[in-house]
Amino acid sequence: MESESPTETKKGKSKTPKKAKESILKQKSPAEFFAENKNIAGFDNPGKCLYTTVRELVENALDSAEAISELPVIEITIEEIVKSKFNSMIGLVDRERVDEELYDDYETAKAREKRLAKEARAQEIQAKNAALGKKVKEHAVSKSSKGRGEASFYRVTCRDNGRGMPHDDIPNMFGRVLSGTKYGLKQTRGKFGLGAKMALIWSKMSTGLPIEISSSMRGQNYLSFCRLDIDIHRNIPHIHLHEKRDNKDKWHGAEIQVVIEGNWTTYRSKILHYMRQMAVITPYAQFLFKFVSDAPDKNVTIKFARRTDVMPPVPVETKHHPSSVDILLIKRLIAETSKQNLMQFLQHEFVNIGKPLAERLIGEMGPDFSPKMAVKSLTDQQIVRIHQLFRQAKFDDPSGDCLSPAGEYNLRLGIIKELHPDMVATYSGSAQVFEGHPFIVEAGVSVGGKDVKQGLNIFRFANRIPLLFEQGGDVVTRTALKRISWNNYKINQTQDKIGVFVSIVSTKIPFKGTGKEYIGDDISEIASAVKSAIQQCCIQLKSKIVKKMQAREQQERKRNLSKYIPDATNAVYDVLKEMAKSHASKKKRYEEGDADILRKVSDHLITKETLYEKLTQHVEKVDYEMALEYATQTGVREEPREDIYLQSLDGKDNFFDFHSPIFVFRLFL
């Protein structure tokens, strides 16, 4: 019997396999890429989006003011926008629900009955426990059935007194992703060219509303106003309005206003924590933070006052270190250089390559190279040879002159201003190097203070910006928790209120992950520098803590001695009376000095009261002498000091600042 073919058995069911569609090559603009991968820039969810928007606007404002050496005055406002107001802003008429069952928060009668019964039982149990005197937990309020479609909207406004922006550049500065002014090799708060642009992209995705920018530069008699959004697919600005307006107040700076979806409730603490840490690391700035809501009890207004008018130097752009470049970078430098020959190129485009070293390097490259050869004529193979030699040769480390750390003075002031600790120590390390990039680590350790929890409170900063997320894997956290023996410095890691502040500045911060939230623990140079800086602070604190303990022991000793004076007086006086009796009856004779004392006892010239007074004076004298010795050993640095606040003077005066770890002395000419 012949077997039937599959096609005959399953007649009519066979299908001709479809041909796979041909792949079509597509391209995405940078704006489209970041819109689809917004978590890369820290826009993970509505709450994080609100936090990141505030952070980016504040940091841009600080950069803008510092660029013209202006003491920053920054106002940041978050205004809650209710649904009805938001709908009117976008021209949408409110509509009542018709089909209730269509909505995600719809609750059937049976489900409602079940929920109410459960809440009633919980309240009954709570009442019984209260009657029995048991500790009553607060009744958990049932979560409101908030549908997925509902959202909270906020208008975020940031105003500064910085340099402002050129009128014609504003559209591209906000409406073109990966365009910016921070791409040179220097210490900057951000380098991606995203910042406010990502806030604009998120605004477009969540509300569809444009961003509004007002700006004016020094000396301008007009104010630039621009309302725009971004064409995601073409990565170009879509301008609604761009005009010049009167600048009657002669104001300079920028004001940026954007409406976004967010979540203040879940990220309130993070935003306020960020503002407080920013006030620590920039005590020369004044911040005014406001949260405005229709419910007055939710409103928040916090002013972080300026404590000093001494600003860190503006970071300067530097050249590349030979050991830190790759082949592509060498090719780009060759294409952009104005130098003609190889000798000039090496000396001009790289740090730490002088003429003698350049000659030695060219000689080591081989016979195909010469000092006078045209740098533009280098072949790919010759460029690879240069790169190989750069990786193998020994070069001096770059200096830290291009860096702008906060400074020990500012760090100390910031910690004192915001935490009010019982004692604080700061340390600023010298410039060190990793992979050809200079970096400086500054640290502060405080003990005690207000709003500080028991145990380690770690504050991390990178290029003078706070890092709040992914703390567990950070080099600072790991070092503070695992590599510092706090007990050796008389500090109790679990019971004392310890603040650990570490600020790292560099031309290249080795962030882990795309969110730029933590610095990895795998770079030994940075890990070692962080540990050393914290230890230096602990050494300073140990001497202060030991002296404080000694002073406390002296006070305790004085209290104990004073407590036993009455008993000692009675005992000594009774002995003296017995000795006086035996001396008077000539049973026992004493030397002239002792006999004189005993006669005074007999004549009541020495009484219990005089003895008590003398013993009290002796205790006071011993305590005074020990205190004097303590003060002498401690030195004048530990004398009581009074805080002195100097008013800012007119910036037109000529002066020099002399910096020390503890103070800044200003000499006016």
What 8-state DSSP symbol labels residue 181?
A: S
Residue 643 vs residues 232, 280, 307, 663: alpha-carbon distances, Å: 54, 18, 12, 12
Q: Say if residue 182 carries a ligand binding annotation.
A: yes
What 8-state DSSP symbol labels residue 661?
A: S
Q: Say if residue 668 carries a ligand binding annotation.
A: no
Q: Say if residue 193 carries a ligand binding annotation.
A: yes
* DSSP H or E run through 184: none
Q: Say if residue 85 carries a ligand binding annotation.
A: no
Q: Say if residue 197 carries a ligand binding annotation.
A: yes
Closest CA to 594 of 611, 576, 578, 574: 576
617 by DSSP, 3-state: which? helix
Q: Say if residue 190 carries a ligand binding annotation.
A: yes
Q: Say if residue 635 carries a ligand binding annotation.
A: no
Contact present, 65 and 162 (Cβ < 8 Å)? yes
Contact present, 160 and 254 (Cβ < 8 Å)? yes
Separation of alpha carbons 613 and 656, rounded Å = 58
Closest CA to 230 of 173, 164, 279: 173
The alpha-helical segments, DSSP class H, found in 210-369 are 264-281, 327-336, 342-349, 355-365
Q: Say if residue 473 carries a ligand binding annotation.
A: no
Residue 232 sits at φ, ψ, to 5 deg, of -60, -45
Separation of alpha carbons 228 and 237, rounded Å = 7
Pairing state between β 497-506 and 455-462: parallel
Closest CA to 260 of 61, 93, 38: 38
Q: Say if residue 160 carries a ligand binding annotation.
A: yes
Joined tokens for residue 428? 């600023």
Residue 320 sits at φ, ψ, to 5 deg, of -75, 145
What is the 3 state secondary structure string of 520-562?
A: CCCCHHHHHHHHHHHHHHHHHHHHHHHHHHHHHHHHHHHHHHH
Angle (nearest 5°) at CA 562 between 561 and 566: 105
In sequence order, the 6+-apart residues with CB closer than 8 A to the CB of 31 are: 176, 177, 197, 201, 230, 231, 232, 233, 234, 235
Q: Say if residue 225 carries a ligand binding annotation.
A: no
11 by DSSP, 3-state: which? coil
Contact present, 527 and 424 (Cβ < 8 Å)? no
Q: Say if residue 181 carries a ligand binding annotation.
A: yes
Q: How many residues does the chain have?
A: 669
Tell the burial category of 530 from Cβ atoms under 10 Å away from its Cβ (0-12, 13-18, 19+).
Answer: buried
Separation of alpha carbons 400 and 507, rounded Å = 10
Q: Say if residue 516 carries a ligand binding annotation.
A: yes
Q: Say if residue 71 carries a ligand binding annotation.
A: no
Binding-site sequence positions: 60, 160, 181-182, 190-197, 516
Binding-site sequence positions for ATP: 60, 160, 181-182, 190-197, 516
